[in-house]
């Protein structure tokens, strides 16, 4: 039989957490930059830019993230004869994926700002980029915080898919430990618990932010 | 030479002819009140003047210069005029001061100190200098509208457009806004107002324009227009808006 599940094995799981967090953080930052560009182009007055970004969003929202990961990982190898290590491949794949979702969330936030706000800025003769920067984006950012944090929670869990191409993050570490100890019913609940401990504080944060924004907007919830 | 000259302005929304061949000149210092039933094209006309709506036909001439409808031409045109909206449209995330200085610094390139001095001066004109660091949410509707007027004035426009600026206010708050309008009119500001405040129109406007079905139906000084309406449409409009005389029994 295999090894027993002791402190060393638990430590191995704990040490995989930074990789899950690093991958999530990297994808949030990269995807955040990409998503901001997509959101802004998505509402731009230029139709070709709107089509392009809409197409991008539809593509990434309409396909499984696992396929996106495979296409990036094997695609780079096949197309460019480039054997990439798992880490840059998963980071790239999750950045592209996050960019589409964050772009769509923020597009909605920008469009939630009433049209007269644009008009008022326009009448002060602000140029389009300045209307966005000074008037629209600050207001859109405020209402986009809760769904953005919500997406971050989803992303942390979704990065577990990176295990499939052999990137050792928390889920992969759990698989490896299961292979050596044959104790899936101990290890996977622990892995799930560790995910929960990463996600729950973020969920609480999202709820608190939502209440605070409701308060500043004067919204009262009856449930 | 007129400050503003519109000629042959037409605008269609789908099947609805919002404006039908409207021509109009406004002299420097003139106060023009546009009245009419809802849907008569008043607000669309005002929005065409500063290019928020692009007319299908017609030309807009400001101070002898014809402006087309490319974004840069519209921006050049708007540099000469301010607009105040029915729903104030202050920026809720910015303080009163920043609401006023934003256009000065970000669009006109004014230095921050000069812009803040200008904001203080503009707020004095509407008697709100003590609200300079408040946020729009903390102000009453009348105060918000006065800030919106100050924001427009700080840009030093040569013409200010007012789009039903008292229509969203509670009755007891209307006075503080019309007082500001009266004062601006006295000080010689060129103003075009779409308004339901007939008291203001009678007091302060030199010209009243009655619009109906997207056209200028009648036009003239207030006493002439209200005293002797030439058309049945204006006569019935005046009947509809004038307060009922409480000493007279109602006819049913």
Q: Which residue of A has its CA nearest to B74?
A: A125
Low-confidence residues in chain B, pLDDT < 50: 252
The pLDDT assigned to B252 comes to 47
Q: Establish if A122 touches chain B: CB-CB under 8 angstroms.
A: yes
d(CA A52, CA A140): 22
A135–chain B Cβ distance below 8 A for any pair: yes
The Cα–Cα gap between A57 and A48 comes to: 14
pLDDT the model gives residue A64: 96
Is residue B85 within 8 A of residue B74, CB to CB? The reply is no
Contact A120 B91 (CB under 8 A): yes
Tell me which chain B residue has its CA closest to the CA of residue A119. Answer: B52
How do residues B118-164 score in pLDDT, each as one tens digit? 999 999 999 999 999 999 999 999 999 999 999 999 999 999 999 99
The answer to whether A142 contacts chain B (CB < 8 Å) is: yes
Query: What ipTM was estimated for this complex?
Result: 0.91
The dihedral over CA atoms of A56, A60, A63, A66, expressed in degrees to the nearest 10, equals 140
Instruction: Give the Cβ contact number of residue B194 at 10 Å.
Output: 26
Question: What's the CATH code, domain A7-216?
Answer: 1.10.3720.10
Q: What is the pLDDT of residue A221?
A: 54
Written as tens digits, the pLDDT of chain A (223 aa) is 567 888 989 999 999 999 999 999 999 999 999 999 999 999 998 999 999 999 999 999 999 999 999 999 998 888 887 777 889 999 999 999 999 999 999 999 999 999 999 999 999 999 999 999 999 999 999 899 999 999 999 999 999 999 998 899 999 999 999 999 999 999 999 999 999 999 999 999 988 888 887 776 655 555 5
Predicted local confidence at residue A219, as pLDDT: 55
């Amino acid at each position: 039989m295999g090894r027993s599940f002791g402190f060393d094995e638990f430590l191995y799981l704990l040490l995989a957490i930074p990789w899950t967090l690093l991958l999530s953080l990297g994808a949030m930052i990269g995807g955040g930059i990409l998503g901001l560009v997509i959101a802004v182009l998505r509402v731009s007055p230029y139709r070709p830019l709107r089509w392009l970004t809409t197409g991008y969003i539809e593509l990434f929202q309409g396909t499984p993230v696992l396929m996106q990961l495979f296409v990036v990982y094997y695609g780079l190898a096949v197309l460019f004869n480039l054997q990439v290590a798992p880490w840059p491949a998963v980071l790239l794949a999750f950045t592209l994926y996050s960019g589409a979702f964050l772009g769509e969330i923020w597009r909605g936030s920008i469009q939630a700002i009433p049209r007269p706000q644009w008009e008022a800025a326009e009448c002060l003769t602000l140029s389009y980029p300045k209307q966005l920067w000074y008037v629209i984006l600050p207001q859109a950012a405020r209402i986009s915080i809760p769904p953005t944090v919500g997406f971050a929670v989803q992303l942390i869990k979704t990065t577990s898919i990176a295990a499939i191409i052999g990137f050792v993050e928390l889920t992969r570490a759990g698989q490896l430990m299961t292979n050596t100890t044959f104790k899936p019913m101990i290890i996977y609940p622990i892995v799930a618990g560790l995910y929960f401990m990463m996600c729950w504080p973020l969920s609480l944060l999202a709820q608190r932010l939502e209440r605070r924004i409701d308060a500043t907007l004067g919204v009262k919830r009856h449930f | 030479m007129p400050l503003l000259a519109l000629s042959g302005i037409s605008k269609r929304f789908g099947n609805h002819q919002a404006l039908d061949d409207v021509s109009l000149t406004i002299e420097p210092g003139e106060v023009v009140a546009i009245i009419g039933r809802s849907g008569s094209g008043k607000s669309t006309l005002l929005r065409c003047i500063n290019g928020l709506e692009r007319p299908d036909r017609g030309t807009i001439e400001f101070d002898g210069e014809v402006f087309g409808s490319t974004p840069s031409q519209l921006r050049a045109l708007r540099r000469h005029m301010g607009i105040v909206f029915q729903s104030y449209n202050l920026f809720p995330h910015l303080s009163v001061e920043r609401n006023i200085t934003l256009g000065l610094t970000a669009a006109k390139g004014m230095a921050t100190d000069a812009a803040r001095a200008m904001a203080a001066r503009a707020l004095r004109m509407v008697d709100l200098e003590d609200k300079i660091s408040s946020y729009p949410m903390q102000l009453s509707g009348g105060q918000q509208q006065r800030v919106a007027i100050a924001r427009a004035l700080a840009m030093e426009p040569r013409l200010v457009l007012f789009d039903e600026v008292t229509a969203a206010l509670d009755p007891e708050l209307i006075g503080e806004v019309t007082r500001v309008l009266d004062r601006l009119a006295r000080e010689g500001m060129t103003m075009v107002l779409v308004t339901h405040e007939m008291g203001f129109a009678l007091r302060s406007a030199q010209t009243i324009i009655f619009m109906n079905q997207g056209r200028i139906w009648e036009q003239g000084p207030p006493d002439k227009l209200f005293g002797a309406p030439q058309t049945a449409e204006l006569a019935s409009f005046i009947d509809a808006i004038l307060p009922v005389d409480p000493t007279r029994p109602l006819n049913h």
